[in-house]
């Protein structure tokens, strides 16, 4: 909830909540708002890309008592998605989640989806320190310091000559 409020206060243009599922299942799934919109379009593009890495469980929405079930989707003032990157208690998915190359592919799958749905205005892609991209991927130092990184789910990557680090955070 604190990250959603922070993103609203920053005026973020996009919110992506990265998770790893558990509880008996296999594959990736991406949640979006029950109301559709650009978040649903982004979820579909992310799932299309992630299906090259994981078995696809599809894109989903979930009804709650007061609209969307998930806080990060219901309370965000911008398009938002919640990505479940496989099941940690499934040996096949767990092996993917341990592979640094696959982690980088997961990050690129999301980045490529963002670029496809929200293309950069400039021909050359440049992420500015306070851009939607930086905020969506928790690149800012204050987020990295306040949210512990899930061990092993961290991957540096390069897009158009610019270096980024993809990190997944523990949800409290």
Report the catalytic residues: 84
Alpha-carbon radius of gyration of the chain: 15
Can you tell me the distance from the alpha carbon of 132 to that of 2, in angstroms, rounded to the nearest whole number?
Answer: 17
Task: Collapse the DSSP code of 64 into the 3-class scheme (helix H, G, I; strand E, B; otherwise coil) and give the result.
Answer: strand
Instruction: List beta partners, residue 169.
Output: 149
Burial 76-113 (b: 16+ CB within 10 A, else e): bebbbbbbbbbbeebeebeebbeeeebbebbbbbbbeb
């Amino acid at each position: 909830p604190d990250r959603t409020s922070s993103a609203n206060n920053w005026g973020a243009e996009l919110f992506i909540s990265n998770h790893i599922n558990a509880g008996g299942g296999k594959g990736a799934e991406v949640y979006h708002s029950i109301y559709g919109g650009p978040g649903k379009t982004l979820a579909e593009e992310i799932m299309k890309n992630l299906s090259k890495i994981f078995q696809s469980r599809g894109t989903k929405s979930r009804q709650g008592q007061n609209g969307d079930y998930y806080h990060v989707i219901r309370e965000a003032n911008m398009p938002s998605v919640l990505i479940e990157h496989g099941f940690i208690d499934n040996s096949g998915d767990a092996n993917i989640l341990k592979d640094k190359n696959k982690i980088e592919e997961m990050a690129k799958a999301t980045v490529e989806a963002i670029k496809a749905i929200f293309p950069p205005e400039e021909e050359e892609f440049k992420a500015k320190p306070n851009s939607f991209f930086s905020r969506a991927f928790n690149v800012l130092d204050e987020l990295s310091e306040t949210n512990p990184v899930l061990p092993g789910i961290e991957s540096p990557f390069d897009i158009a000559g610019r270096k980024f680090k993809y990190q997944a955070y523990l949800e409290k």
